[in-house]
Amino acid sequence: MRTAPVLAGCLWILCASAVPAATPDPAGAAPAIVGRALAPSPLADDLRRLTDGIGGRVSGSPAMARAVDWGVAAFKAAGVTARAETYTQKVTWAEGATRLEILGGTPFPVALVAEGWSPPTPAGGIEAELVHVGSGTAADYAAAGARLRGSIVLVDSTVTETWADLFNEYNRTGAIIERAIAAGAKAILWTSARERRLLYRHTDTVAGELASLPMAVVAREDALRLARVADAAGQPLRVRFTMPNVIGGPVEVANVVGEIRGRELPDEFVVLGAHLDSWDLGTGALDNGCNAALVIAAARAIRESGYVPRRTIRFVLFSGEEEGMLGSRAYVRQHRAELDRTRAMLAIDSGIGRITGFQVSGRTDVAATLPKALAGIAAFDASQVLMDGDLGTDNVDFLLEGVPTLVAAQDPANYMPNYHAASDTYDKVDLHLLAQHVAIAAATVYGIAELDGALAPRQSRAEIASLLERTGLAKEMKESGLWPEWESGQRGRTP
Ligand SMILES: [Zn+2]
């Protein structure tokens, strides 16, 4: 910490009024923080150790435990206090040797991977007819009729190119799965929404529970060929689907929480968060290793600037994000007593696309005061305040608790083509841009922590409910399966 200038020989009372706090001129804070963020730092080394060194880190796995140790150690090396905050994850999951064999006709090799948190197939696999159900609408299922009972269904997709495509990938699945179950199907194969046989995985779970049917993602070109063969007149296409996923749990997992205590209002909090866990086909560099490393680097830049924020800033690396934002849900439960004094939560989770501004999820009160906190990042052209929001990351449980949330709005860049895929690796990260994002994130949370008053008040349950309707988030929650969690009081602010 930089010390205040000493006025030698003055009367103590004069000194007190000339130097109101043991901190340098606040106007200098943002340039100092930005300067530290852009200076040489361990940022790239930290990211390389996380991605190449530890690799993919599914929440609840040994690799994730190593990543938590990495996070605590990296904060401490940055001179920031940090601790692991544990909670219980109900289910652990790992993929075995997933296979699809074509029985009869002209067999060909089919590349596929298990969906995350999919149950295994029974021992020996499922031998059944593969029924192509188009895009899985009610009409598609009706057309397939009685053949569906006992079958494995194959569902089409369109290639994901935009954020809207990606959200549609998630939001359409619930209804398709329900129809498959109602029709008596035994498993679902999803056509990959990426070309060139790229494989990736998701879950369709919202609270860390196992999915209700065995499901896998099939390489797009292989799935399209299977669909053509299945659609051809003549013999039904019989296959054997073997997916010996390994299910375990419950297990203790952890969020990593770093902290810089506020100088005037230490019991008020601003949270900067990114998830540390990832899928395991690649090494989780874009999603979300680069932004986990960013959170640590932001803490380092603020500490090294010598400025101490008025309010406490928490730097949180969440676990369990990919399974339904389990880590951020655990954080709000464990810190519920502080939520009245949690002034904002900023989440970053869209890889290395250039930050253009911040989504405030319909909070007009946040939009009105946020520009003041963004004064320090004017040079980055990253200060747009966007009223929209969605349900894609760790801000959601804070939003459902009425805490003002910001999500970094980012260009798509190379996010979608590598999303959850084997190709999500260190080499995809633009390290120069990442350092700029460290500067933007650090100066933004510092700016919020430094505001004269709160960014915006915490909302009541009634205000949150109205916000969800007004923004369309309620509809999205119903499609994705999150709505019952909110409605039943499992998640979100209670009345
Ligand atoms: Zn992510």
Beta pairing, strands 265-275 & 246-248: unpaired
> From ligand 1's centre to the CA of 144, what distance in Å?
36
> From ligand 1's centre to the CA of 108, what distance in Å?
34
> From ligand 1's centre to the CA of 104, what distance in Å?
41
Angle at 166 between CA 286 and CA 50, to 5 degrees: 15
> From ligand 1's centre to the CA of 63, what distance in Å?
17
Largest CA distance in the chain: 100
> From ligand 1's centre to the CA of 471, what distance in Å?
22
> From ligand 1's centre to the CA of 341, what distance in Å?
27
Please, are residues 370 and 456 in contact by the beta-carbon 8 Å criterion? no
Q: List 358's β-bridge partners, or say none.
A: 385, 408
Please, are residues 37 and 411 in contact by the beta-carbon 8 Å criterion? no
Residues lining ligand 1 (ion), CB within 5 A? 287-288, 349
> From ligand 1's centre to the CA of 322, what distance in Å?
7
> From ligand 1's centre to the CA of 419, what distance in Å?
9
> From ligand 1's centre to the CA of 350, what distance in Å?
7
> From ligand 1's centre to the CA of 288, what distance in Å?
5
Q: Where are the beta strands (DSSP E) in 156-292?
A: 187-191, 215-218, 238-242, 246-248, 251-260, 265-275
pTM above the 0.85 mark? yes
Residue 291, C-beta contacts closer than 8 angstroms, at least 6 positions apart: 274, 348, 349, 351, 437
Residue 338's CB is within 10 A of a number of other CB atoms, namely: 16
> From ligand 1's centre to the CA of 348, what distance in Å?
8
Verify cis geometry, omega within 30 degrees of 0, for the bond prior to 122: no
- Strand (E) or helix (H) holding 142: helix 138-144
> From ligand 1's centre to the CA of 494, what distance in Å?
27
> From ligand 1's centre to the CA of 451, what distance in Å?
29
Please, are residues 301 and 36 in contact by the beta-carbon 8 Å criterion? yes
What is the set of domains in the chain, with CATH numbers?
Answer: 21-90+250-487 (3.40.630.10), 93-246 (3.50.30.30)
Nearest residue to 187 via CA among 298, 302, 100: 100
Report how far residue 258's alpha carbon sits from residue 76's, in angstroms, rounded to the nearest whole number: 9
Residue by residue, pLDDT tens for the chain (495 residues) are 333 333 333 333 333 333 334 455 667 999 999 999 999 999 999 999 999 999 999 999 999 999 999 999 999 999 999 999 999 999 999 999 999 999 988 999 999 999 999 999 999 999 999 999 999 999 999 999 999 999 999 999 999 999 889 888 888 999 999 999 999 999 999 999 999 999 999 898 888 999 999 999 999 999 999 999 999 978 899 999 999 999 999 999 999 999 999 999 999 999 999 999 999 999 999 999 999 999 999 999 999 999 999 999 999 999 999 999 999 999 999 999 999 999 999 999 999 999 999 999 999 999 999 999 999 999 999 999 999 998 889 999 999 999 999 999 999 999 999 999 999 999 999 999 999 999 999 999 999 999 999 999 999 999 999 999 999 999 999 988 899 999 999 999 998
